[in-house]
Amino acid sequence: MGDGNLADGNQEEVEKTENGFVSDPESVGPEEPPKAEEAGDVGELDLDAEVVDLNHHKLVRIDERIGQLRCVEVLTLRWNLIKKIENLNTLTSLTELELYDNQLTEIENLDGLVNLQ
């Protein structure tokens, strides 16, 4: 097994590295970033919450469920992967919105947020 050949038909082939350690070739390599469908989820939302903190959720977009928050006054979406502001136009009670450290390309779609400070 140490020479990189199969000892019998039931064993997986392993490779010998330069320093002599045996490794599994499938376990070697850098971690891949999460795919869009695997990245970030807002999880369960309390639709009556006044403060919603979704920091570090790896969100790639603002989920339409966020637009259903009835009483939210403070919405924190810091340190995500959001590129576009969307699904916020119904949050008329919103007074504070944090989008710091995202990947926004344009600031738009905020006209309906009449209480935003």
Query: Nearest Cα to 40, choosing from 80, 75, 76, 67?
Result: 80
Looking at the structure of the chain, the number of domains it has is: 2
pTM for the full predicted model: 0.65
13 and 45 co-located in one domain:
no
Q: What is the CATH number of the domain that holds 103?
A: 3.80.10.10
Q: Which domain holds residue 13?
A: 1-29
Q: Are residues 22 and 35 in the same domain?
A: no
Task: Please enumerate in sequence order all residues whose Cβ is within 8 A of that of 89, keeping only pairs 6 or more positions apart, or say none.
Answer: 67, 109, 111, 112, 113
Task: Please tell me whether residues 62 and 96 are part of one structural domain.
Answer: yes
Do residues 93 and 36 both lie within one domain? yes
pLDDT in tens, the chain (117 residues): 555 555 555 544 444 444 444 445 454 455 554 444 445 788 889 999 999 999 999 999 999 999 999 999 999 999 999 999 999 999 999 999 999 999 999 888 899 999 999
Is the same domain home to 36 and 2?
Answer: no
